[in-house]
Amino acid sequence: MARTEVLLLTNRDSDNIGDQIIEASVISLLKAAAENLGIASQSFIVRSRAASIISKKYMSTGDESLLESARRAISRADVVVFGGAPLFNYVYQVFYRRTIRTVELAEEYGVPVLFSSIGVEPFNDADERSLALQSALRKSVVRQITTRDDLESTQKYVEGTGIPTALVSDPAVFADSVFEKVRPIDDPRGRSRKRIGLVVTRSGVFPDNGIPFSEADQRNFWLGVIDELTARGDDYRLFTTGHFDDEIFLDSLVRHHGVQGKKAAVTLNSPEELIEQLRSCDGVIAYRLHASITSFAFDIPSIGLTWNFKVPDFYRSVDYPERALESADWKPSTVLSALDRAMSEGVEKDDDFMISVYRTLFSGLKGILKPSEQIEPYSLEELREKLPRYAGTSRKQYQEKMRRKLRRSYGFYQDKIAANAVEPSVGQSGRTQPQSLLRSVRTRLKRGLKR
């Protein structure tokens, strides 16, 4: 039996659990599409790799020998699918360079490329980085580009080429089906008072995006929200989407600013752990976009705090633009009023929008694998039934996630020490103290390795 192999490239190696949820969701969508196309499951292989398949070392040295693994993976594939990652980022990240080199290798081996529901930064015809990306995306191996946020820029990247583009849903909108076996740590239906999920972020995300909002400002905002929730008798739960820098901030709230440890999940490391937290909440306030998207998938009303254009873009796409609040509205009473309205309205979903990510992915695969056959994509109801369910994070996978985070945490502090940037004591500054947090993280991570 002929084998069909898809090389899937996502941000699977990110500590941000939202990216891990995307990976699992895209794998499930790909397998459903293969069945839809009449490809036997035993002959359809999805090899999932990090979108950073082009290594950091290669990017800094240009040593072609470092591309051996990427070449092997791309050359053996029938299709390369970039799934749900911010692949065109060039403003303060260099991911676009990796995307360019991956497309160049795909062209070298004649392997068609699909970009599915990716993050796109605005096209800028005065920026050499944006123009270099545009040049790569016009190559003949690129067969389709769909985005979850900026269709106008996507169209400009490939203008005049005939490459199909579309604005589609995020793969994670199907997390409720893919992860349906994951139960909440505490079922909201069994409680007498509401529990609100508070999803914090790293302090540096605001200056990185030109927002004058300091670490102290974020801390005071969350403490104010907690005070108001407590005063009205509601419960709350603080957590992150797993990014180590976000955990630094949350750890400081618990260690030095009076937040009860039992009210916070400082370290999360798997999709199940994040989904358990979200499903235990009646409503969510989040800086991280994929906390909002996953909440939406599970019909949990949420408020997104806008630090990047992608946040309001998502809420507009699901017809709740008023649930994305700009920094001028980051006041406890304003945010909680918005959340109360959202919880009273609930969550409604548009079927056509929901299935758009699947229909376009199906169309792209069909055009490559079975271009002459007349096959219709599944309906939304059929798709939900056919989507393979997530098997769970194995002990080995969990330990690898923990090791990766531990390596990154050590690297973070080594960089701090090398730059002589270790913070003064908390008593002097009110900020996170790296040495004490490192000891805490080391303990938690090593405990996780024994899971």
pLDDT in single tens digits along all 451 residues of the chain:
589 999 999 998 888 999 999 999 999 999 999 999 999 999 999 999 998 899 989 999 999 999 999 999 999 999 999 998 777 777 767 788 999 999 999 999 999 999 999 988 889 999 999 999 999 999 999 999 999 988 999 999 999 999 999 999 999 999 999 999 999 988 887 788 999 999 999 988 999 889 999 999 999 999 999 999 999 999 999 999 999 889 989 999 999 999 999 999 999 999 999 999 999 999 999 999 999 999 999 999 999 999 988 999 999 999 999 999 999 999 999 999 999 999 999 999 999 999 999 999 999 999 999 999 999 999 999 999 999 999 999 999 998 888 888 887 777 777 777 776 544 434 434 444 555 555 555 555 555 555 5
Q: What is the pLDDT of residue 203?
A: 87
Helix (H, G, I), strand (E, B) or coil at 323: helix
Nearest of 114, 13, 90 to residue 55 by alpha carbon: 13
Residue found by looking up tokens 């079922």 in the block: 187
User: Rg of the Cα trace of the chain?
Assistant: 22
C-alpha–C-alpha distance, residues 363 and 266, integer Å: 41
Q: What is the pLDDT of residue 426?
A: 41
Contacts of 431 (CB under 8 A, 6+ apart): 215, 252, 423, 424
Given 3-state DSSP classes, what are the helix, strand and coil percentages for the chain, each rounded to the nearest 5? 55, 10, 35
Model pTM above 0.75? yes
Residue found by looking up tokens 């604005």 in the block: 167
What single DSSP character describes residue 372? T
Q: What is the pLDDT of residue 438?
A: 56
C-alpha–C-alpha distance, residues 70 and 283, integer Å: 42
Q: What is the pLDDT of residue 394?
A: 92
Contacts of 165 (CB under 8 A, 6+ apart): 144, 145, 146, 147, 151, 154, 155, 158
Contact 18, 291 (CB under 8 A): yes
